[in-house]
Amino acid sequence: MIDFAATFILFFAVIDPIGTVPVYIAVTKGYDTKSKRKIALIASAVAALILLFFVVAGELILTAMSIPLPAFQIAGGIVLFLFALSMIFGESKPEEETRLAEKHHETAIFPLAVPSIAGPGAMLAAVLMTEHVRVDVWQRIQISGVMLSVVLVTLLLMLMASGIHRLIGNAGASVVSRIMGLILAAVATTNTLAGISGYFKL
């Protein structure tokens, strides 16, 4: 059995459903209610498929390229840490991706599905959390289920976006994004240390 709470918190941090709300509002500005729902459903479905692809094929690709998992853990941990630092000290997710929304019109796919929901951090987390050497098939299914539940939470929040945004505003979403960044930094450090231990067999 996996630690469902810890896994949920990790994916909640990297996907950041609350931070997606301002992005969704920006990209659906001017659309009617029916179109907004369709965009939310398409974005969530595409993001889920992308993340599942990394669960299934991410490690196979690494193996084909002869990249040892500990090396990917270290690299992934460093990238996740940098991603977390950008969430904490740089532009928060809502601010950065809302700017992207102003420049692009492929609303459901970019920037909503990628990189808002299925961003680099989420893709890396999907691979790192489902390493074949650490988890069996049943555990990978459980982890995938938890990951998809966070995508579902993101979808529900998008469908309730107007009310949530009125409640917390861009400032509130920015604060939540930075808190998630701090949690992600701790997870990234753990992954890097685990990779170093595995590579050097400490």
- pLDDT, one tens digit per residue, over 37-49 is 999 999 999 999 9
How many Å apart are CA 135 and CA 140, to the nearest integer? 6
Strand, helix or coil at 200? Answer: coil
Token pair recorded at residue 38: 């369709």
Cα atoms in the Cβ-side hemisphere of radius 13 Å centred on 15: 28
Per-residue model confidence (pLDDT) at position 168: 83
Per-residue model confidence (pLDDT) at position 61: 85
Inter-residue contact 17 to 194 (CB < 8 Å) = no
Question: How confident is the model over 154-173, as a mean pLDDT?
Answer: 87
Strand, helix or coil at 167? Answer: helix
Domain residue ranges of the chain, discontinuous segments joined by +? 4-199
Per-residue model confidence (pLDDT) at position 104: 45
Per-residue model confidence (pLDDT) at position 106: 67
- pLDDT, one tens digit per residue, over 4-15 is 999 999 999 889
Residue 97 confidence (pLDDT) above 70: no
- pLDDT, one tens digit per residue, over 45-94 is 999 999 999 999 988 887 888 888 788 788 888 887 887 887 788 765 65
Per-residue model confidence (pLDDT) at position 105: 47
Higher per-residue pLDDT: 180 or 21: 21
Higher per-residue pLDDT: 168 or 154: 154
Backbone dihedral region of 144: left (phi > 0), alpha (psi from -120 to 50 degrees) or beta?
alpha
- pLDDT, one tens digit per residue, over 101-146 is 554 446 788 888 988 899 877 888 899 899 876 889 999 999 999 9
Token pair recorded at residue 184: 């992600």
